Structures are given as C-alpha cells and as structure tokens.
Amino acid sequence: MRASLLVLALFVGSSLALDCQEIDGRLKQIDASDGQVFGVNSEDSIYTRYGNGWVRVPGALKHVTVGPAGVWGVNKDNLIYKMIGGRWEQAQGLLKQIDAGGDQFIAGVNMLDNIFCLNRNPTVTTRGGTAAIPWNLLPGSLKYYSCGPYSCWGVNWLDQIFVMKGVTPDACMGSLAWQQVPGALSMIEVSTDGSVYGVNSAGNVYRRDGVSVANPAGTDWTYLSMCGKSKHVSYDLGVLWVISPEDKILTCS
C-alpha cells in the first residue's frame, strides 16, 4: 500500500477519462507516427496497420519504430535494421530499444543502458552494410529513450524521468544537460508533434501537459483513466494507441 501511495504522490495533477475501444490483433509493442502504425507481437512478428486491419511485414523484431527518420527496429540479438525500399537492411551497432520520432534522427539505448543518437545526415543516408555509423554516445544511463521534434525523454532503471533539451536534427545530443522531471515511469514516448505520454510500473498512463518549444519539460502530469492496465503506449493524430498487459490493442481518444 505504501508503494502505491508513493507512486500516486509522484504524480500530483489532474485526471482525464479516455474513451477506449479494443481492436483486432495482439501486439507487445506499438509505434505510431504521421498516420503510420507498426507493431510486433510476442513471437517478434512485425505488423503494420492498413485500413481496418493488420498486414504482416517480413522479418522478426522485438521492437519497431516509425517516424520522420523512417522505419527502424531491433531484433532479439539487439541488431539494428532500417527499412529501405520495403526491405530490412542491417545497420551497424547494437541497441535493445530504438526510436525514430526525432526530426529525421534516430535514438535508442543498448543492453547496458548506454544512450545513443544518430544525426540527420547519417540517419537518412545510411543504406546498411558494413560501413561504420557515427553514433553519438550521450552521458547517463537510461532503459528507454524517445525523441520528438525539439526534445528527447527517457526513463532509467529506477523509473526516474529525464528530458534532454536543445535537440536538433544535426545536434541530436542536445544540451548534454539532463533535467529530471518529477514522477516515475517505466516507459515513455514522445510523439511527432512533441506530445509526451508514459506508463508507470502499476500500468497507469500519464500525459505530460504544457510541453512546447519554449518549455520542453512541460508543467505537470495528467492521469489518463481507462478500463484496465497498460504496458505500452504511442500517440499520433489524436489517437492514443495502448497495449495491455495481455497484448490487447486499444485505441483511445
């Protein structure tokens, strides 16, 4: 009980009830951007949303991402892949989680929770193969990292939340000064429009309010009430895509 009260105390803010509908399919992770939706299931099969159904994408990934930087993913061996011309091409490096939400740059974390990002030019031009890629190593340690148009957010092994400001396509490392944000989350996602959503260890979903170019860290958290618990979320074009602990897929607005 004390732990539950502590988690709630870390999120002093408003609440909002969402209208959620379960849709077809089962996924363990999902990502949405600019009208595209990709996800992977418990067997690492890859799917994309087409109309009112899911279309299987060749390959096997444990985490997939779509955004201004394209479609990328990592497999069970932490190998990195970029979709080029409808085919997966391996890119140099190792990551356990990857995010394409930045302004044409990639970011992610590896098995040791080291944080990396790749500036716009190599992100866009890499065609895979054996050519070295100039990954940038950021200070600190995070288990999940996600970027938007002007900031990147991450959470560490203690579920502490951090934001990196001053991020640009050609300077993806930003200011190199982490700002800790009150609260506790186990995963966090920044949308293409800069909106920030996350899930805590109790399966509750939160939205960061007041986020803007002038104030990338925002002001406070809003608890998003819905039926059941969540383990993963992604937001795009007014729709919050939610994955439940049972891998059910919900769309909420």
| Residue 169 · residue 105 · CB < 8 Å | yes
| Residue 241 · residue 232 · CB < 8 Å | no
Q: What is the pTM of this model?
A: 0.93
Return d(Cα 64, Cα 155) in angstroms, integer. Answer: 18
| Residue 109 · residue 142 · CB < 8 Å | yes
User: Which residue shows structure tokens 């990592």?
Assistant: 74
| Residue 154 · residue 142 · CB < 8 Å | yes
Return d(Cα 99, Cα 211) in angstroms, integer. Answer: 19
Q: Return the closest-CA partner of residue 18 out of 243, 187, 242.
A: 242
Return d(Cα 154, Cα 198) in angstroms, integer. Answer: 10
- The pLDDT of residue 11: 53
Q: Return the closest-CA partner of residue 189 out of 19, 56, 66.
A: 66
- pLDDT, one tens digit for every residue, the chain (253 residues): 334 434 444 554 699 999 999 999 999 999 999 999 999 999 999 999 999 999 999 999 999 999 999 999 999 999 999 999 999 999 999 999 999 999 999 999 999 999 999 999 999 999 988 889 999 999 999 999 999 999 999 999 999 999 999 999 999 999 999 999 999 999 999 999 999 999 999 999 999 999 999 999 999 999 999 989 999 999 999 999 999 999 999 999 9
Instruction: Name every residue whose Cβ is closer than 8 Å to that of residue 6 and which is 6 or more positions away in sequence.
Output: none
